[in-house]
Structure 1
Amino acid sequence: MSSTDLLDKAYEPYDVEKRWYDFWEKEGLFAATEKSEQKGYSIVIPPPNVTGVLHMGHALNNTLQDILCRYRRLRGDNVLWMPGTDHAGIATQNVVEKKLASEGNDRHQLGREKFIETVWKWRKEYGGQIIHQLKRLGASCDWNRERFTMDEGLSRAVRKVFVQLYNEGLIYRGNYIINWCHRCHTALADLEVEHEEIDGNLYHIRYPFADGSGEIIVATTRPETMLGDTAVAINPDDERYSNIGATEVILPLMNKKIPIIKDKYVDMSFGTGGLKVTPAHDPNDFEIGTRHNLPAVKVIGDDGLMTDEAGEFKGLDRFECREIVVDKLRKEGLLEKIEPHKHNVGHCYRCKTIIEPNLSKQWFVSAKPLAEKAMDAVRNNETKIIPETWNKTYFEWMNNIRDWCISRQIWWGHQIPAWTCETCQKVIVATNTPETCPDCGGKNLIQETDVLDTWFSSALWPFSTMGWPDETPLLKTFYPTSVLITGFDILFFWVARMMMMGIHFMGDIPFKDVYVHALVRDEHGKKMSKSTGNVIDPLSVIEEYGTDAFRFTLAAFAAQGRDIKMSEKRVEGYRHFVNKLWNAARFALMHIPNSNFEFQVSSFKPLSLPDRWILSRLGKATETVAENLDTYKFNDAAGAVYQFVWHEFCDWYLEAIKPVLYGNEGQEKKDATTRVLWRVLRDTLVLLHPFMPFVTEEIWHKLPGTEGSVMKAVFPSDTPDAADVAYNAEAESEMELVIGIITGIRNIRGEMNISPSLALEVLVQSQDKKIRETIQQHQDIITHLARLSSFSVEQPGERPKASATAITEGATIFLPLEGIIDFAKETERLEKEIDKVTKELTGASKKLSNEDFLAKAPESVVEKVREKHETLAEKRQKLQLNLDKIKEIKK
C-alpha cells in the first residue's frame, strides 16, 4: 500500500481537527516544564470573561498567541501559555440575576452567601464555554494550569496586594467622582462605560451677578445638575471679564450666592467663557472644586432621583427634573436659548443605562506613584510596545492618570478585606479575617460589603497565576513573561495596570514585549456590531471552511497598525490554499517510498536545477518566516510561506520534476529528486504548522521518516541538515532565467488567445553567451512546462516572420504565429470585445460622475462601481494592446 492510499482525496477539517486536538491533549504536548535547560518562553492569555463566547477579537488575539507558542516550541523553547478566565463581576452578576428573575427570585431574597453559591454553581455549569471554543480554534494552552481570577490562589494574592498597598498609603477611602449606574447600582470603571453620540441640547442659562451689575451666561447639556452648582468659573486670561467687579452670582432657581472663581481649565473659545462648576456631578468640576476648596453638593442620588439638596425638585427622576428645571428657567426669564447639540453620552456596558458622574465614598488606588516606574520601563525599552505608535497614547494616558476607583457595589467578586469595629469605628485592613479590634478589643467587626473592581485581580495576572506570593519554580522560570498580545482598547485599563503592579510587587516588568493588534472589521472596513448586522461568527466560519483556513486568514491580514477587513470570501480563498497543500502532499506521497529510503539530501550530488533551486527557496522562506515571527510581522510571515508553497513549490517545482518522476531519466535522478521532494514537504509542514496546525499534523503522520507530532519537530533552520537548504545564488539565477522564458511564452499564449494544449515552436535570441548556454542546458524544462514542439536558442538575428515577442532579462522570445492563429478572426474578436467593454465602462463612468448617485448611494455600492470602473479600464487597455500587437505582427 502506498502512502497516498492513507491520505484521503479531499481534506475534511472537522473530523481531523477533533482527532488531533484530543491527541495533543492526551499526549500532554501543550505542557510547560517548571525546571528545564531549555530557554523559557511564556505568554499569559488575556483572560476572557467567564460569561464570554468567542468573537472575532478573541479569535485574532488567540490565533496570534498560538502561532507564537507553536513557533517557539519548534525553536526548542520551554513554552508556557498560561490560560484562564476572568470572573467578570458586573457581567456575571447580571447574568445570574436575570436567571433568578426568570425563576421569580432575586439576590436579596437569597442573601449574599446563597447568591454567591448560586454564582459559583452557574460558573461550574456554564462558565467554561469560551474555553471549549478556544480549543476549537486550536489554542495550545497548558490547560492543566488553567486559572480563574476568583480561585483560592489568586484570592490570596489579591488580599496581599490590597493590604500592602493600604499599608503603604497607596490605597485609601474617600469621596470622589465615579461613573455610577443607577440600574446596576454600582460604580463602573472607565472601560465599562460605552460612549454613544446622541442628539441632545445645549441650554444657555443666565446667572445674574449678585451685585446687580449684569449677568454671565453659561451653557450645559445637563441643566438638572445646576441645582448643585457651587461656583461659576472664568479663565483668568479672558479679557471679556477683566473689568467685572462682581465676585458672586445668584444660582438660578436656588436663589443662593455662589462665588465667581478663576481657573485656567476654562475654555475661552466655548460659548461665553463662563463655566458652571458642579463638583459632585462632573469629574473635571470635581478637580476644579478641589483646587478652590469648593463644597460638593450632591443633588442626584444613587437611585437616580433628586436628593434633599435639590430643594423643591426633591424626589423627581433626573430626566423628569431636567424638563421641569428648563420650563421654570424659561418662565423666570433665565433661559437665554436652547441649541440642538450632538454629544457623547456614557452608557453602562451591561444594561445600557445612561451613567451619572456622581460623588461617592469609594476605595481608590493612588496611581501616580505607581505610574512613574511603569513609564520608565517603556522609556528605557525594558518593555517594548509594538507598533511603537502606541507609545504616545500610553504616555499621554499615564501622564494624566487619575486615582483608580477599585470598589464596586455588587456581591460577586473579591470582597474588600476591610472591617469596621462597631464599638470604636476603627477600620481594620488585613489578609486574614480579624477576630477582635486591635484598639478596643471589640468583637463586633463588620466587613466592607463592596467588592474589588475586576481589573484589580486581572492586574496581578502575570505573576498571581504563577503562584505568587509564594516563590514558585514557575515564577523563577517564566517571569517576566516574553510577550503580551492584546487589543488597543485595554492598553490603559489592563496593560498599564499590570505594568504598575508587576514592577511594584515583583520588582520587574511583567512582559518584555507588548504586541497591540488592530480591530477585525467587516469587508467594508466598518466595525462589527449586532445592531449593524455585520457580525461574523468565528465558529460559523470554522464550521464552513475549517480552522486552518480561518487562522491563516487572520494571520495573513494581521499587519501592524492596520485593521483587518474580514470576509468569508477571504477565508474561502485560504481554504483553497489548504486544499493546494493537501493535493501537493498527495502527489508527493505517491512518489516517496514507505521503507528502505535514505532521506539525506546531501548524499546525492549533483542535483538538478529545480532541486537545487527549491532547496534554496526553502531556505529563504524559512529565514523570512523566522525573521517576521520574531518581530511580530504575522502577515509577512504568512505571506512568505504562502508564496513559497503555492507559487514556488506547487506551481513551479512540482511541475518541473514530473518528467523525472514519470519519465525514463534513470533511477539515480529519480531517487535524488524524491529525497528533495521529501525534504521540502517535511520542512514545509513545520513552517506551516504554527499557522495551520491541524492539516499539517494530519499530513505529517502520513509522511515516512517522521516521528511523533509535528509539534515536536525542529524548525528547519535548527536541524542538523539545515545546510542542505543554504542560499544557492547560481541555482536561483538560472531558475529565474528559465521561469522568465516560460512566463514570457505563457503570456503570449494568453494575449493571443492560443490554446494551452497547442504545442508551439519558439526561438530565443540573446547576445549573452552564458545566458544562451544556460537556456540550452535547461531547454528540456522549458519545453515541458511551456508545452513546445520545438525550441531553439541563437544569437540575435533576423526576427521570424509574423511572430509575437516577449522580452525577459537578457533574452528575447519569438513565437511564430503563422498557421497558429487566424489574424482576421482574432482582430474581429478583439474589436468586438473592446466595444463591449467600452460600453460597460461608459455606464460606470456616468454613475461616478453623477452627484446624486455619489451622495445618495450607500458607500459600499459606490465602492463596487469604482472597482468595476477600474477593472474595466484595465481590461480595455490590455485588449487594445493585444489588438495593436496583432496589427503590428501582420505588417
Structure 2
Amino acid sequence: MQTFLKFKYYQLKLPCLSSKIRTTQTTCLRNYSSLDKIAQGYQPKDVEKDKYTKWSCESSSKATTLNGPKFSMILPPPNVTGNLHLGHALMATLQDVICRHMIQKGYEVQWIPGTDHAGIATQVVVEKKILKERGLSRHDLGRTEFLKEVWKWKHEKGGSIVDDLKRLGCSLDWKNEYFTMDENQVKAVNRAFVRLFEEGLIRRKKALVNWSCSLESAISDIEVDSIEINGPTEITVPGYDTNITFGQLYNFAYRLHGDESQEIVVSTTRPETLLGDIAVAVHPEDERYTRFQNKATFLWHPFRSQPIPLIFDASVDREFGTGAVKITPAHDKNDFEMAKRHSLESVQVFSEKGRILQNFGNFSDLPRFEARGKILDALASQKLLREIRPHIMNLPLCSRSKDVIEYMLRPQWFVHCQDMANEAVQAVRDGRIQLHPKSFESEWSRWLNDCHDWCVSRQLWWGHQVPAYLAKNEDQEVWIAAETEEEAFAKAQAELRVKNPRLERDPDVLDTWFSSSLLPFSVFNWPSEEFRNSYPLDVMETGHDILFFWVARMTMLGMKLTGDVPFRNVLLNGIVCDAHGRKMSKSLGNVVTPQQVIYGASLKDLQEDIHQSHKSGILGPEELKKSIKGLQKMFPSGIPECGTDALRFTVCSHNIKSHFINFDVAECYTNKLFLNKIWQATRYTLGAHDKINLAVGGIAQEEQELQLMDRWILSRLADTLEVCETSLENYNFHTAVAALKNFFYSNLCDVYLETTKPGIFEGASKARTHCATLATCLSLGLQAMSPFTPFITEELQQYLPKSSGLDVSLYKNSQLETEVNEILDICQAIRQLKSRNKVSKKHEPKVHLFAQNKEAFNTLSKYLIEVKALTLSNEVFLEEISKPISKNEYKLFSTAGHLCSFGISTNSNFQLPSSQISGKDLNNLKLDKLQKELQRYLDRTSNEGFRKSASEAVQKKNFEKIQQLEVEIKNIKSLQS
C-alpha cells in the first residue's frame, strides 16, 4: 500500500521502482475539465489579481505558534519618502525568496516589515512641498507646526510603500510592522543613548563635520556625493541666483612678514576660505623652500593684518600647484589634522548658513561664494593674485540638498566606536557572524580596525530628539542624558547638588542611522527581555554599500546593548544599475520603478512622472531637460508590461553578490515569455490528460513502464531540484534560476514535451506514463520555482497534483543524461543544417543516420522516434557504417559528433539556395573547427602541469574527448573523399 506525504521538493521519501511509475490519482491531474478553466495565455494582471489579499487572509487565520524551528529576519526599512525603487525591489525579493524557502523547509518564519523616518530626506521633501505650495520655509512655520506637516505627509505617503511591497508578493509579518518613530522605537532609542552616555561612550565635543549650509545641519559621509570636475564647470548651488564655477586652481602670494620683497605663492581651489588661513605649509624636502628652514618664518595675512607662520609638514603634496598650501583647519579635514600636529588654533569663517561671519570687514555677512569673487578682486587690487587656471578636482555635494558641502567645526554628540568595533571584528573572525560573500571580511576588518568616532547629532527638526539636557545653576553647567525630563531633573539635582536646576533640552535630533542600528532588537520590544525570543536574526540581507554605515553599527550596538551578535549571517547584494551599467538617476532619465516594470508604461507616462518630480521640486529645470532626453533614448517605445513574477525572476537571475547588477527591461520581458512557456506546457499537459482520459476511460491503477525519455526528464528534474536546494542554501539565487530556466525551457518544453507528442496524440499505451511524468515535472518544478515566482506557480499548481509520490532523487542517472545529451547534439546538428539550407516540412526531409560502430548503432536505435520528433523529419533511418557513404544519394550530409554521420534526402521541390555555402564548404569549415578544438585538448593533456594537477577523472574525460574528436574528424574526412 502506498503512503502519501505532504509534498516538499527537497525531501521525497516514498519508495518506487527506478524504471516504473505508478499512475495513481496523485500523479494525474485532479480536475478532468481543467483545460477549459485555464486561460489560453499567461496574463500577469489576471494571475496576480487578489492573490496577495488571499495570502494575507490565510496567514492571519493560521495559528500564531508552530512546532517547527524558528527563522527571523527584518526588512531593511525603506525611507518614507515615496515609492520603492528597484534597489528596494531587489532586496525585498531576495528576502522573500529566502523566507519562502525556509517556510517550505518547515520553519516558523518571522519577517518584520517597517519604514524609516529618514530624517534629512523627509525633511527636505516636506520643506520643498511647503515652499512650492505655500511659499513658506520651515522657519516661517516654526518647529511644532512643521512637524505636524511632516506627520501629515507621512500618513499620506507611507502607505504607498506598503502597497508596493505587497505588489511584489512579499510574505511579510504585517501585524508586527514598525516605523522608526513609533513609541516603542522612541523608547529604545532613548534607552540606548542614555546607556551609552552613562558608560562614557557618548560624549559632546567640538569637531569638524560635513555641513550642509542649506539644511543647516551636519550630515553623514554616506549622504555626501563626490563628483569629479574636469576643468571650469558651472554648478547650481542652492541659495544662489546664478551658477557657481568650480574646477579652477587659484595661485596668490603671501608676502613675508618684515620683508615684502620676498613672497610664497600658494595654490588653492577655495579662495573663499582664505579669511581663515592660520598658516602656510610646504614639504620639508621641497628644495624650493629649504632656504626658509631652521628659522622662524612668518607671512603677512592680507585681510586679517597679522602674521601667520610658514610650517613644514611631510603630508604636503609637492606636486599640487606650487607645492605651498594654505592651512584653514576650521573648514578642511586635512588642515584640521595638520593644525593639531603643529598646535595651531582655528579661525572659523562661515556661519551655519554659509555666510561670512562678522569681524571680517567688508566681507562680513556675504554668502560664501559671493565672497569668493570679492576676495579675488581684493587680492588683485593688492597685486597678490598670480594665476587662475583649469584644474581637475572632486567636489563634495549633499546628496539630499545638492548643496556644496562645507566642513565646519561644530559641537556635536559623538559615539566612541573603537572598542565596540574591535568586538565586531572578532565576531566575524570567530564565525559568530558570517559575511556573504566572504570577500568583504578583509574590508570589514580594515575599516573597523581604524573606526573613527561617530557623529550622531543632526541639526534637524524631524527625528528622535537627543535625550540630553544642559543642566545649569549659576556658574555651573553639565550635560545629562535621561529618558524623561523628570529623570533628567533628578539627575541634575544630584549632579549639581542643588534643589532647582535649570534644564535646556538639546534641540538636535539623532542621526537616522542611530535608530536604524537598534532595529535587530528594538523591533522585538527591547529593552523588554521578550526580544530574545527572536534575537539574533538568522539573516540580515542588504546592500554592500551600507556595510559600515549600517551593518557594522548594528553589530557594534547590538553586541554592546544585548551581549550577543545581532545576526548570524549577512548577505550583501550589489547596486542596481541600468542595462548599460550606469547608476540610476532621474537626471539621466534611466530610473525604472517596479510599478513601471510590472504594469508597463508608455513613454508619455514616463515623461509625466518626470514632470511630477519637477513640479514637486525634486528636479530643477536643467535636470528636467536631461531626464526627458534620457527617457527618449532609453525607452523610445516605453516599458512593456512584464508582471511581478518576471520582475522577481529577473532580479534573481543576476549574481546578486556582484558589486553592480545591470537591470535590463528587455530581459525582464523575455522572462515573461518564459513564464508563458511554462503556462503553455501546463495547458499541453491538461490537454494530454483530457485526451487519454477520453480514449482509455481514465488513468488505470497500474504501473506503467517508463520510457528512456521519461527517465531522462526525471533525472534532469532530480538534478535541478538538488541544484536549487544547494544554491538557495548558499544564497546563489542566480544558479537556482539558471537551473530552473534550463529545466523548464530547454529540457521540459523544447525536448521532453516534443518527444511525448507522438505517443500522446497517437493514443499509444505509453501516453499514460508521459502524462504522469509531465504532471510530476510540472508539479515539483513549479514548487521549486514558487519562492521566485509565487503568483504564477500558485495559479498553475491548482490544476496539478500536490505530490507525485516519487522520490525523484532515485531517478538521477548521469549515464543516461550523457547519452541523451549526445542524441540532442545530433538533433541540433541536423536542425542547424536544415535551417542553414532552408529545408522545411514541405520538402519532406528524411534523415539517414550512419552509426560509427555497433555500439553507436545500439545507442541510436533506442532514440529514432525522438530524433524524428526533435528534427521535424518525415522519417529517420539508421544503418551502421560498413562501406563509404554514397553522398550523391543525399542533398545534404555532415557529421554529428563521434556517434554518427548523417545525410538528408528531400523531395524534388528542394533546391540548394544559390547564395548558400555548399555542403562541401560547410564541412570544410566544420573540419577546421574540429581540428582546432582537438589541438587545444592535445595541448592541454600534453602539459606537464595538467598531468600533475588535474584529477584522474578530469584527465580521463579529456582523453575521451580527444578520442571522440578524432572519430568525428575521420568521419568528416571520409565524407569529403
Indicate whether the TM-score tops 0.5.
yes
Partner letter of residue 746 of structure 2?
H
- Aligned amino acid, residue 482 of structure 2: A
Structure 1 residues 528 and 504, CA, compared in 2 at 3 Å: closer, same or farther? same
Structure 1: stretches of 5+ with no match in the other structure: 707-718, 835-884
State yes or no: 1:98 paired with 2:128: yes
Are 1:468 and 2:498 matched, yes or no?
no
Residues 1:550 and 2:580 aligned together: no
| TM-aligned CA distance change 1:303 to 1:730, over 3 Å | closer
Mapped to 2, the partners of 1:636 and 1:757 lie a distance apart of 41
- Listed as ranges, the matches of 1:132-151 within 5 Å are 132-151=163-182
**Residues 1:56 and 2:86 aligned together:** yes
How has the CA–CA distance of structure 1 residues 812 and 345 changed in structure 2, closer, same or farther, with 3 Å as cutoff?
same
Paired AA for residue 465 in structure 1: V
Q: After TM superposition, give the deviation of residue 400 of structure 1 in Å.
A: 4.1
Asked if the contact 2:267–2:323 (Cα under 8 Å) also holds between the matched residues in 1, the reply is: no
Take 2:841 and 2:314, find their aligned partners in 1: how far apart are those partners? 78
- State the Cα distance separating 1:665 from its structure 2 match: 2.5
Q: Deviations over 1:120-152 (max 9, x none)?
A: 232222222112112112222111111111111
2:913 corresponds to 1:826: yes
Find 1:205's aligned residue among 240, 252, 277. Answer: 252
Question: For 1:638-787, what aligned pairs fall within 5 Å after superposition?
Answer: 638-666=737-765, 669-705=766-802, 721-723=806-808, 725-756=810-841, 758-786=843-871, 787=873
CA offset digits 1:573-625 (Å, max 9, x no partner): 11110110110111112234799999999983631111101110001111112
The one-letter code sitting in structure 1 at the alignment partner of 2:743 is F
Deviation string, structure 1 residues 674-693 (Cα, Å, up to 9, x no partner): 22222111111111111111
Q: 1:366 to 1:720 in 2, by over 3 A?
A: farther
- In 1, distance between residues paired with 2:654 and 2:52? 25
Moved more, 104-113 or 325-334: 104-113
Give per-residue Cα distances to partners, 1:809-866, cap 9 Å, x unaligned.
Answer: 432232244755755x5234559xx9xxxxxxxxxxxxxxxxxxxxxxxxxxxxxxxx
Instruction: Give 1:239 shift.
Output: 4.8
The superposition leaves residues 174-194 of structure 1 with CA deviations (integer Å, 9 ceiling, x where unpaired) of: 111112222222111112222
**2-structure distance, mates of 1:622, 1:492:** 36
Post-superposition CA distance 1:228-283 (Å, at most 9, x none): 12222333444544442333322232221223333333223323332322111112
2:885 matched residue in structure 1: 799
Q: Distance in 2 between matches of 1:886 and 1:752?
A: 19
Q: Is 1:253 aligned with 2:303? A: yes
Note if contact 2:887-2:893 (Cα within 8 Å) is conserved in structure 1: no
Please provide the CA RMSD for this pair. 3.1
Confirm or deny: 8 A CA contact 1:483 1:513 kept in the other structure: yes
Distance 1:313-1:722 versus aligned 2 partners, 3 A rule = same
Q: Quick check: 1:502 aligned with 2:589? A: no
- Which amino acid counterpart does residue 454 of structure 1 have in structure 2? T
Distance 2:532 2:382 in 1: 72
Percent of residue pairs identical: 40
Secondary structure, counterpart of 2:110 in structure 1: strand
Distance in 2 (CA, whole Å) between partners of 1:148 and 1:484 is 18
Query: Which of 427, 433, 452 is matched with 1:402 structurally?
Result: 452
Give the CA deviation at 1:219.
1.4
Deviation at 1:887, TM superposition (A): 15
Amino acid at match of 1:169: G
**2: CA distance between counterparts of 1:598 and 1:263?**
96
| Cross-structure match for 1:216 | 264
Report the Cα distance in structure 2 between the residues aligned to 1:767 and 1:104, rounded to whole angstroms: 87
Partner residue of 1:637?
736
Aligned twin of 2:596: 540
Q: Does 1:515 align with 2:571?
A: yes
What is the letter of the counterpart of residue 177 of structure 2?
E
2:277 is aligned with 1:229: yes
How many angstroms does 1:483 deviate by? 2.5
Contact 1:602 1:724 in 2 (8 A): no
Give CA-to-partner distance per residue, 1:152-208, whole Å, 9 cap, x none. 111111111111111111111111111222222211111222223343211122223
- Equivalenced residue count is 821
Counterpart for residue 425 of structure 1 = 477
- Give the deviation of 1:759 after TM superposition: 3.6
For residues 285-335 of structure 1, give each alpha carbon's deviation from its aligned partner in whole angstroms, at most 9, with x where no partner exists: 222223333212111111211112534421222111111111111222222
Which residue does 1:577 correspond to in 2? 674
Residue identity in the other structure for 1:588: T
1:449 corresponds, among 507, 522, 533, to 507
Structure 2 residue aligned with 1:118, among 142, 149, 160?
149
Whether the 8 Å CA contact 1:685–1:696 is kept in 2: the answer is yes
Q: Does the 8 Å contact 1:30/1:140 carry over to 2? A: no
Q: 1:220 to 1:745 in 2, by over 3 A?
A: same
Corresponding residue of 1:40: 70
Is the deviation greater in 273-282 or in 246-255? 246-255
Question: How does the TM-score come out when normalised to structure 1?
Answer: 0.86
The equivalent residue for 1:812 is 900
SS where residue 425 of structure 1 aligns?
strand
The match for 2:617 is none
Does the 8 A contact of 1:67 with 1:691 survive in 2? yes
In the TM superposition, residue 789 of structure 1 has moved relative to its aligned partner by 2.3
Structure-2 change in CA distance of 1:463 and 1:614 (3 Å): same
The CA deviation string for residues 61-97 of structure 1, in whole angstroms up to 9 with x for no partner, is 2222222222222222222222110001122223333
Structure 2 Cα separation of the partners of residues 318 and 510 of structure 1: 45
**Offset of residue 754 of structure 1:** 0.7
Return 50-59 or 206-215, whichever deviates more.
206-215
The answer as to 2:680 corresponding to 1:606 is no
CA distance, structure 1, for counterparts of residue 95 and residue 63 of structure 2: 15
Distance 1:19 1:94, change over 3 A: same
SS at match of 2:197: helix
What is the alpha-carbon distance in structure 2 between the residues aligned to residue 887 and residue 729 of structure 1? 32
Is this contact kept in 1: 2:851–2:901, CA < 8 A? Answer: no
**Partner of 1:159 in structure 2?**
190
Partner of 1:374: 424
Q: Report SS of the residue matched to 2:59.
A: coil
Q: Decide whether aligned partners of structure 1 residues 807 and 649 sit closer, same or farther in structure 2, where only a CA change above 3 A counts.
A: same
In the alignment, the residues of structure 2 paired with residue 9 and residue 503 of structure 1 have an alpha-carbon distance, to the nearest angstrom, of 56
Q: CA deviation at 1:634?
A: 2.1
User: What amino acid maps onto 2:869 in structure 1?
Assistant: H
Counterpart-to-counterpart distance in 2, 1:106 and 1:661: 75
Q: Give secondary structure in 2 for the equivalent of 1:267.
A: coil
Contact 1:228/1:310, CA 8 A, preserved across alignment: no
The alignment partner of 1:826 has SS state of: coil
